[in-house]
Structure 1
Amino acid sequence: MNPNQAQPILRVIRAAPLTQLQDGGRFGALHLGFSHSGPMDSRAFTHNYQLLDDNEHAAQVEIALGGLMLEVLADCTIAISGAYMKPTLDNKPLTNYCAHNLKQGQRLQFAFAKYGIYAYLAVKGGFAGKAFLESYATTDRLGISAQTIGDGSILSAQAITQISEPRGVSRGNIDTLQQHTLDVIPAYQYDNFSLEMHELFTAQDYQIQAGDRMGTRLRAEEALSFTGGELLSEGLLPGAIQITNEGQPIVLQQDAQSLGGYPKIGALSESSRCALAQSKPGDTVRFRFLS
């Protein structure tokens, strides 16, 4: 969406530790070295555009950890999903995974996350920004941003009439943020790991050491070993599980590099990758292979 044809809709009073625009992702550019990027929790992102009857390429604001405060500059309809950050409108609680009508002059605020890490704020029509390779996805490590968002920033969107009857998602249809057993698709060098390593991989707990938009670093008591020989660098996708030289896993996330040479025992399913992205350092997870 051309920002020159959009209407100012929100003013950032206080930004979150990470506040950035994301759309469904940047595809078809891995061979050029550009990450997919896009939302860390694509499930939550999808709920938002479905609530607003928008398409998957409509840009949303990804909020990490919480603390975002906004002033409403024009009447609009928003949707909120993902990590629970106790959203309020003029100090009155808003429901997660629901659409809400906002009025000019109101104040929208997010506390720091009680559950999860990443929340998503969508506006009917999508946020405006400057596209790169036909995407509004932000990739900080490459300096790619549809709009830099900080204190005082103005967020614009297409002028849209409010939805007459905002709706929500049934609680039974909301994916849990706290998924401790992660599904792994056997892929990459799976067949080059021994049966003993397959069994060890799924037999122990892994503690999350650290994580960001590039990847999540895990550690278990017993290290894994790879005897498949030296590998050439190959293309990577979000969810790939690299085993480092120390025998510990790193799960690649949305801003991961496009090439890598570590052996990979498999790749997480989309829902499991999202659940891991929403997990915090100190949490523990286990793996299981899908048949």
Structure 2
Amino acid sequence: MTARLQVVRAGALTTVQDDGRPGYAHLGVGHAGALDAPARQLANRLAGNRADAAVLETTLTGCAVRPDRASTAVVGGAPCRVTVDGRPVAWGAPVHVPAGAVLEAHPAARGVRSYLAFGGGLLPEPVLGSRSADLLSGLGPAPLRDGDELPLGTPHGAPGRADAVPWPGMPASLVLPVRLGPRHDWFTPAALRTLATAGYRVSPHSNRIGLRTDGPALERARQGELPSEGVVLGAVQVPPDGRPVVFLNDHPTTGGYPVIGVVPRESLAAAAQATPGTAVRFVPVR
């Protein structure tokens, strides 16, 4: 019989995430996958899983789950208090969860998204080769609700052992490199200076689709809208209010608002952990 993981407390937004669905943009299917990929991969490594195993991604308020078999679990990503049946256990390291015990990742002390990895990984039905939830398209498993159950895989490796684990710190401020283009010529020279010098802040309206910003509007040199064209992970799109939006994993595959630049993929994990109000600077690079 397949082991199961029962959701006791789903939290504000908890989803199943793995490496995502790269390579389907031409079909209108976005990437999805864990927003903080390095944190997910490290949690899997410590749990004895392959790096691409599916985990739970929480948002701010954490979650609580109950496995029906004894399991090794790792809670990483955004630091938080971790308990098993109410007793404190380690964050960022393998812990033993007895069958029927409740593992709880409490609200994030810093950052936004914590990751819960279990030995053997989570095994909801894959869609286009991925078990990730995509909030924009609705592909993959739905966001978790209290009482949901997820199948658990069979562990195939020993938990990782390390004297010290290099979990990245949560960002006190964001400095995002941005390569200008393809539509930076739709903006005035003053707007390009503003992008490079002004201070922005993470908007509370940010989500898995995009990091929205509050700050000065970028002035357009050309009016009207583009025909819809392809957009990529990290694209900095500028909607009619003039405030940049950095596309994250659940972004649409096409859009009609101009893209002033693109943030490289390796800088997006920090963006995924930036809480509302975090200072943001864009730094144009070649």
Which one of the candidate residues 224, 244, 260 is aligned to 1:265? 260
Verify the 8 A CA contact 2:48 2:156 in the aligned structure 1.
Answer: no
Q: Do 1:178 and 1:275's aligned partners in 2 also have CA atoms closer than 8 Å?
A: no
1:7 and 2:3 correspond: yes
Q: In the alignment, which residue of structure 2 is the partner of 1:201?
A: 195
Asked if 2 retains the 8 angstrom alpha-carbon contact of 1:98 and 1:169, the reply is no
**Structure 2 match to 1:184:** 178
1:99 matched to 2:97 = no
Q: CA deviation at 1:240?
A: 0.8
- Partner-residue secondary structure (3-state), 2:108: coil
CA contact (8 A) 2:48 2:159 kept: no
Q: 4+ runs of 1 displaced by more than 6 Å?
A: none
- Alignment partner of 1:35 out of 30, 33, 38: 30
**1:83–1:177: 8 Å Cα contact kept in structure 2?**
no
- Give the drift of 1:284: 2.1
Stretches of structure 1 that go unaligned for 5 or more consecutive residues are none
Aligned length: 284
User: In structure 1, which of residues 84, 103, 110 is the aligned counterpart of residue 79 of structure 2?
Assistant: 84
Distance across 2 between alignment mates of 1:166 and 1:98:
8
Q: Which runs of 5+ in 2 are unaligned?
A: none
CA separation of 1:168 and 1:93: change in aligned 2, threshold 3 A: farther
Instruction: Answer yes or no: is 1:216 the counterpart of 2:211.
Output: yes
Deviations 1:202-230 (A, max 9, x none): 21111222211111221213x21232565
Deviates more, 1:89-98 or 1:273-282: 89-98
Is 2:202–2:279's contact at 8 Å kept on the other side of the alignment?
yes
Distance 1:263 1:169 in 2: 44
Q: Separation in 2 of the partners of 1:166 and 1:70?
A: 24
Structure 2: distance between partners of 1:255 and 1:22: 11
User: Taking structure 1 as reference, are residues 216 and 263 closer, same or farther at Cα in structure 2, changes over 3 Å only?
Assistant: same
Match of 1:157 among 147, 152, 174: 152
Counterpart-to-counterpart distance in 1, 2:159 and 2:236 = 45
Provide the alpha-carbon RMSD of the alignment. Answer: 2.4
TM-score by length of 2: 0.88
Shift of 1:41: 1.4
Equivalent of 1:225 in 216, 219, 222: 219
The within-5 A match list for 1:241-280 is 241-280=236-275
Give the superposition deviation at 1:93: 2.9
Identical columns (%): 29
